[in-house]
Amino acid sequence: MPGGRSSPPHGRHNRGCLPTSPTCQIWRSQSYPAQRTQPLLCRDMALQNALYTGDLARLQDLFPPQSTADLLLESRAAEPRWSSHQRGLWSLTYEEELTTPLHVAASRGHTEVLRLLLRRRASPDSAPGGRTALHEACTAGHAACVHVLLVAGADPNIPDQDGKRPLHLCRGLGILECVELLLKFGAQVDGRTEDEEETPLHIAARLGHVELADLLLRWGAHPDVRNADGWTPLLVACDTHSQSPQDAEATTNRCFQLCSLLISVGADADAANQDKQRPLHLACRHGHSAVVELLLSCGVSTNAMDYGGHTPLHCALQGPATALAHSPEHMVQALLNHGAVRVWPGALPKVLDRWCMSPRTIEVLMNTYCVVQLPEEAKGLVPPEILQKHHRFYTSLFGLVRQPRSLQHLCRCALRCHLEGCLPHALPRLPLPRRLLRFLQLDFEDVLY
Give me the mean pLDDT over the 138-160 stretch: 97
How does pLDDT run across 218-266, given as a tens digit for each residue? 999 999 999 999 999 999 999 988 766 667 778 889 999 999 999 999 9
The H-or-E segment that residue 260 falls in is helix 248-264
Contact at 8 Å (CB) between 160 and 133? no
How does pLDDT run across 366-415, given as a tens digit for each residue? 999 999 989 988 999 999 999 999 999 999 999 999 889 999 999 999 99
What pLDDT score was predicted for residue 365?
96
How does pLDDT run across 61-99, given as a tens digit for each residue? 999 998 899 999 986 554 565 655 555 566 665 556 789
Percentage above 90 pLDDT, the chain: 72
Kindly give the pairing relationship between strand 40-42 and strand 25-26: antiparallel
HEC sequence for 271-296? CCCCCCCCHHHHHHHCCCHHHHHHHH
Q: Mark which of 138, 159, 187 sits at the end of a domain.
A: 187
Q: Is residue 322 part of a domain?
A: no
Q: Is residue 9 part of a domain?
A: yes
What pLDDT score was predicted for residue 251?
85
Q: Mark which of 130, 159, 187 sits at the end of a domain.
A: 187
Give me the mean pLDDT over the 276-286 stretch: 95
CA distances from 141 to 121, 177, 406 (A): 24, 8, 63
Domain extent, residue 405, equals 351-449
CB count in 10 Å sphere of residue 354: 15
How does pLDDT run across 31-53, given as a tens digit for each residue? 333 343 577 888 889 999 999 99
Q: Select the more confidently predicted residue: 78 or 313.
A: 313
Q: Is residue 167 part of a domain?
A: yes
Q: How far is CA 85 from its chain centroid?
A: 39
DSSP string, 396-443: HHHHTBTSBPPHHHHHHHHHHHHTTT-HHHHGGGS---HHHHHHHTT-
Alpha-carbon dihedral sign for residues 297, 298, 302, 306? negative
CATH number of the domain residue 141 falls in: 1.25.40.20
- What is the rounded distance in angstroms from the CA atom of residue 321 to the CA atom of residue 314? 15
CA distances from 143 to 25, 147, 173 (A): 34, 6, 9
Q: Is residue 330 part of a domain?
A: no
What pLDDT score was predicted for residue 82?
63
CA distances from 320 to 278, 284, 324, 356 (A): 18, 10, 8, 14
Burial 48-85 (b: 16+ CB within 10 A, else e): bebbbebbeeebeebbeeebbbbbbbebeeeeeeeeee
CB count in 10 Å sphere of residue 302: 21
Give me the mean pLDDT over the 206-224 stretch: 97
Nearest to 369 by CA among 329, 328, 409: 409
Give me the mean pLDDT over the 184-207 stretch: 97
The H-or-E segment that residue 218 falls in is helix 210-218
Nearest to 62 by CA among 12, 10, 24, 15: 24
Q: Is residue 2 part of a domain?
A: yes
- What is the rounded distance in angstroms from the CA atom of residue 67 to the CA atom of residue 430? 84
Residue 328 pLDDT class (50, 70, 90 cuts): confident
Q: Is residue 209 part of a domain?
A: no
Q: Select the more confidently predicted residue: 311 or 429.
A: 311
- What is the rounded distance in angstroms from the CA atom of residue 335 to the CA atom of residue 300? 11
CB count in 10 Å sphere of residue 368: 17
Q: Count of domains in the chain?
A: 2
How does pLDDT run across 53-63, given as a tens digit for each residue? 999 999 999 99
Q: Mark which of 137, 152, 187 sits at the end of a domain.
A: 187
Q: Select the more confidently predicted residue: 209 or 89.
A: 209
- What is the rounded distance in angstroms from the CA atom of residue 222 to the CA atom of residue 313? 30
Q: Is residue 336 part of a domain?
A: no
Q: Is residue 178 part of a domain?
A: yes
What pLDDT score was predicted for residue 23?
40
pTM exceeds 0.95 for this model? no
Helix or strand or coil: residue 186?
coil
